Structure 1
Amino acid sequence: MDSSPNSPLAAEPAATPAVSTSEGPLPALRARIAAGLIAADPAQELAAEKLQDLWRRTRGYDPKVEPPDTGGFLGRFFRRKPVEEAPDGTPLGLYLVGEVGRGKSMLMDLFFASADVARKKRLHFHQFMQQAHRRIFEWKKQHGDATDPIPPLADSIVAEAALLCFDEFQVHDIADAMILGRLFEALFARGVVIVATSNTTPDDLFKGKPGRDAFLPFIALIKKRIEVMMLDSARDYRRDRIRGLPTWHVPPDGRAERALDAAFEELTGERHAPSTRLTLLGRAVEIPQAARGVARFDFDDVCGKPLGPADYLAIATHFHTVVLDAIPRLSPDNADKARRFITLIDALYEHRVKLVASAEDVPDRLYQRGENAAMFERTASRLMEMQSQEYLALPHLT
């Protein structure tokens, strides 16, 4: 199965569960609790029960994959079934919604690892949409605008996955909103089951954005084909993890790099993560590593390139934590990088993004000479505050 970057479903690797999941997510969760790997949480147990029910209903699930259509656009159009006529026996999916750090991704990983479905994929939703746009672009380049790219895109997706598990389901981009309704309608018509985690209820997706009225049918479709469940855990386990980590490492040597590696793995469950990109206003912001709402950059990746406030805002709203390697000393000699760094920290601070970094010195001594040294005093103050337990306890603002 193709999982190259050009595949429509190049999957983000899921964390490997420490306990066997062969009997489903609920026994796996209870085994983790019994082994002392995690604490018991009634809200997580309720969600695991719901996922266990879906696990039972999807055992052996394998909807028929139609052969590629050769009859052109009209043939594909008349072959499509509306959602109301989706394959008999298609199980409803599950949309698990709750605040950051409540264990949604962990629960979905337990479900995904145990799911007895021959064709299944788990990936970050933003990654899925990037790949969908890429495939649509390639289709139009090959076939022109006279044919509809959505049915063949859906065909290619269902050929690889009858079960799709999406982490961090969010819709911020108008380009995503424009295709989601038709793409998901086509996937549901082909019998695809979708499980998703999100910080946002379906009714609040794309809220306050221009063009939302045209997005409302997609929300109705989601609520019809995917059961929504709130995960009401009172405890933020992600914040518990980061509050136990040192967040500022001096100097940026091998020891600091290993500390940042360990922090990234602790927060994401992954030693290395794939790259991704954020697309806004026709531009792409490259993220060298991204997983579970955590982005990792070298300083030059994010401050050595011509990025601006809108780019840093996109990073701050998409990621709850940034791991930043090798912040240098700042001065008029690297004024452009210093200015971008100030803008980046302003965006992260305003959105309560958590920062784990290595640097040449403590914040107060990073920028000590030149005309902008006084301006940097506010940034240094914010960097110091961002290391405090009070700041680390604050929720991320998207």
Structure 2
Amino acid sequence: MPGMPAPRLVDRHPEIAAQELVAALVPPPRFADVRFDTYVPNPGEPSQAAAVVAAEKFAQGVGVVRRTGGLFNRMFSKRVPEPAPGLYFDGGFGVGKTHLLASLWHAVPFEAKSYGTFVEITHLVGALGFAEAVRRLSTQRLLAIDEFELDDPGDTTLVTRLLTELTDAGVHVAATSNTLPDKLGEGRFAAHDFIREIRTLSARFTVVRVDGPDYRHRGLPDAPDPLTDEEIDAKAAAIPGATVDDFDELCAHLATLHPSRYGKLVTDLPAVFIKGLHAVPNQDVGLRMVALADRLYDRAVPVAVSGESLSALYTDEMLRGGYRKKYLRSISRLTALARDAGAAGFRQ
């Protein structure tokens, strides 16, 4: 209705039941229809074509039980399956690792398979409890984990135990990350104190390197200039269901929600408008913005802002720190969403 204020993200308080968490472990809307043949390798980056071959081979092997030991062991001792192998896509942001991971998930011909971000998987363990999470995930043939990273000692210990138990149970695990397995946690916590756990974790994976420039910005213009507050109000009013939020209020609201809820926070939105964007004040806020940007990108929600440019979202000091790759991925994805907003005619 004319004159009605636009809805706001800060007024949304999504709740996710434990059973809903399990059911939601599928690729997000942006990657619901991707397949290996829709991935277009960069001709100048041979590792990308090689990654497709490796992923296809891995998908074909999911569900195959491997046995340990030679002929003597097979004849005279109990047959114990080897741990299921893991595949780990390592590379910079914007090279299509998530596309490959989702394509792998789609290619596995079993219904018993799960796909989630690292945050979603760790939250599932917290919601269900470790033993129940292992019980449920052990029934899967494949667990695909996007944005794999170790940000603190608790994650390191938890995930090492989880993946050890799952792969021992025959679950194949595929993951994407911006960091090699044996370098996880560097620059974020005293990773050297957890070297045994990190080595145990990295030993479960075969690493496939995916090189190349960020495809989201290959030959494309920079993000549109910020709008004015008046332009945001006018454009949001023309899009039923679009949200308009003050940046500081939105940051405060995100602090009240676990990042695993951010996906539901922005589900089914036609567009998100944010007023008064500026550099985040600290790393905690920065990491929440990273998680929000990822969920907006997963759901292909166009974004437009007023205030400062999206490129100013993280300070130079933050971009030199241990979370540099996460922040750069966030800017890359938000820039792509801002271009989507411009292409949709949000800016006249």
Q: Structure 1 residues 104, 283: closer, same or farther in 2, change over 3 A? A: closer
TM-score of the two chains, using structure 2 as the length reference: 0.61
Matches within 5 A, 1:177-326: 177-233=156-212, 235-240=213-218, 243=221, 245-250=223-228, 251-253=231-233, 255=235, 284=258, 287=262, 299=274, 309-315=282-288
Distance in 1 separating the partners of 2:155 and 2:97 = 23
Please state whether the residue corresponding to 1:221 is helix, strand or coil. helix
Query: Per the alignment, in what secondary structure is the counterpart of residue 187 of structure 1?
Result: helix
| TM-aligned CA deviation for residue 178 of structure 1 | 3.2
Deviation at 1:180, TM superposition (A): 1.7
Q: Which residue of 2 aligns with 1:347?
A: 314
Measure, in 2, the Cα distance between the counterparts of 1:42 and 1:180: 32
Correspondence 1:118-137 to 2 at 5 A: 118-136=111-129
AA paired with 2:91?
G
Alignment of 1:21-60 (within 5 A): 25=36, 28-29=37-38, 33=40, 40=43, 41-58=45-62
1:181/1:215 contact within 8 Å kept: no
- Cα distance in structure 1, aligned partners of 2:203 and 2:27: 29
TM superposition shift of 1:155: 0.9
Give the match for residue 131 of structure 2.
Answer: 151
> 1:243 deviation in Å?
3.5
Matches of 1:156 and 1:127, distance apart in 2 = 15
Q: Distance in 2 between matches of 1:254 and 1:288?
A: 26
Cα distance in 1 for residues equivalent to 2:221 and 2:127 = 38
Match of 2:101 in 1: 108
For residue 101 of structure 1, give the secondary structure of its aligned residue in structure 2. coil
Among 22, 33, 43, the residue aligned to 1:17: 33
Residue pair 1:316, 1:347 contacting (<8 A) in 2 also: no
Q: 2:288 aligns to what SS in structure 1?
A: helix
Call closer, same or farther: CA 1:308–1:131 in 2, change over 3 Å: farther
Query: 1:43–1:232: 8 Å Cα contact kept in structure 2?
Result: yes
> 1:62 Cα deviation (Å)?
8.3
Please report how far the alpha carbon of residue 241 of structure 1 lies from its aligned counterpart in structure 2 after TM superposition.
Answer: 7.9
Within 2, Cα distance between the matches of 1:191 and 1:105?
A: 23
For the residue of structure 2 that corresponds to 1:347, the secondary structure is coil
Gap change, CA 1:92 and 1:300, over 3 Å in 2: same
Distance in 2, matches of 1:48 and 1:158, equals 26
| Larger CA Rg, structure 1 vs 2 | 1
Deviations 1:127-173 (A, max 9, x none): 1112212222xxxxxxxxxxxxx3332112223x2201111101113
Range that drifts further, 217-226 or 95-104:
217-226
The unaligned stretches of length 5 or more in structure 1 are: 64-84, 137-149, 263-276, 329-340, 359-398
CA distance, structure 1, for counterparts of residue 117 and residue 312 of structure 2: 25
By relative contact order (CA 8 Å, sep 6+), the higher-ranking structure is: 2
Other structure's SS at 1:227 match: strand
**Residue type matched to 2:285 in 1?**
Y
Aligned identity (percent) is: 19
Q: 1:120 deviation in Å?
A: 0.5
Q: Is the CA contact (8 Å cut-off) linking 1:86 and 1:189 kept in structure 2?
A: no
Deviation at 1:12, TM superposition (A): 5.0
Secondary structure of the 2:87 match is: strand
Could you tell me whether the CA contact under 8 Å between 1:62 and 1:117 is conserved in 2? no
Q: State the alpha-carbon separation in 2 of the partners of residues 213 and 86 from structure 1.
A: 36
Taking the aligned partners of 1:226 and 1:310, their CA distance within structure 2 comes to: 30
Question: Runs of 5+ in structure 2 lacking a partner?
Answer: 1-15, 67-77, 243-252, 297-301, 320-327, 339-348
Tell me which amino acid in the other structure corresponds to 1:134.
A
| Aligned partners of 2:151 and 2:189 also within 8 Å | no
Tell me which residue corresponds to 2:142.
163
Aligned to 2:152: 173
- 1:244–1:313 CA distance, 2 compared to 1 (3 A): closer
| CA-CA distance at 1:348 after TM superposition | 5.5
Assess, with a 3 A threshold, how the Cα gap between structure 1 residues 204 and 255 changes in structure 2: closer, same or farther.
same
The answer as to whether partners of 1:97 and 1:201 remain within 8 angstroms in 2 is yes
Q: Secondary structure at the match of 1:94?
A: strand
